[in-house]
Structure 1
């Protein structure tokens, strides 16, 4: 049990560091909300190495901590919407067992953007924000693929006996 708590703390710290690094990278393509999704790599790894409950705990803790440290209440709201919808879709696809790590990560990237745009439309009470959806979906696929490939390669490098942290 101590090992599990230590790993959860370590992964939460990694996710928080990834959030901070991402906030420093000037990644702007003229579309608000497009990010690399570095923290998704950590969540995907925890999902595959430790399980659903643990990945949810790391994701939720990272969103709250990063929001309070680097953002504001709106950033927490948007991150929670995107992060939780993304997480739900990734868990369902992983359980369905027909998608690779890369496919699960790509779906996570896409649905993170979907969750955020849905909340944005509700907050500003304007459905015309949906015109952001196509470029956000494309960026979610691309960044999700890159993050998924990175996560897959990390998982491949682990010895077979260490692929599941208990």
Structure 2
């Protein structure tokens, strides 16, 4: 891997961590357990589009692991990690196979859905209770708003960064 590319990916991972930390200290307008704004997912989606699928998945995984080490929130790690991996994989597949039909907003909405689904799935296994899935519609409604915001922001960032990054890598 080229040094400049590694530096960009390190910076993106760092920005994702900072956004994740920022997100953990700001209150969510709706008091729903597990609900977050998903700001660090902007970095993951930008990395997927700008650098590639493997790089996006690596940034997502590193962001989740480092955030848990920084925050000390080990109990939330499995929820965050599974949600992040499912979200990343779904956004990669959506971009790869549906990019003719979806904007980054659509790709982000798919990622938000799978992130919420993954978290509820983990909760169902941990609590050994399938009824926790009744909570999923609430998270999905919030995910529409956060996924839309992440998609719009990612479109703006990709538009402004893609050309600059490609020029600097060559």
Range class of TM-score, shorter chain: over 0.9
TM-score (norm 2): 0.91
Cα RMSD between the aligned structures? 1.7
User: C-alpha distance in 2, partners of 1:37/1:162?
Assistant: 24
Give structure 1 regions of 4+ aligned residues with deviation exceeding 6 angstroms: none
How far the C-alpha of 1:159 sits from its partner, in A, is 6.3
In the alignment, which residue of structure 2 is the partner of 1:13? 14
User: C-alpha distance in 2, partners of 1:36/1:128?
Assistant: 25
Mapping of residues 1-166 of structure 1, within 5 Å: 1-96=2-97, 97=99, 98-158=101-161, 160=163, 162=165
How far the C-alpha of 1:140 sits from its partner, in A, is 1.0
Alignment gaps of 5+ in structure 1: none
CA deviation string 1:71-120 (max 9, x = no partner): 43321111111011111110110001221111101111111011000000
How far the C-alpha of 1:163 sits from its partner, in A, is 5.4
State the number of aligned residues.
Answer: 166
Q: 1:164 to 1:92 in 2, by over 3 A?
A: farther
TM-score (norm 1): 0.93
User: C-alpha distance in 1, partners of 2:82/2:51?
Assistant: 23
Alignment gaps of 5+ in structure 2: none
Q: Which has the higher contact order (CA 8 A, sep 6+)?
A: 1
User: C-alpha distance in 2, partners of 1:113/1:154?
Assistant: 24
How far the C-alpha of 1:141 sits from its partner, in A, is 1.4
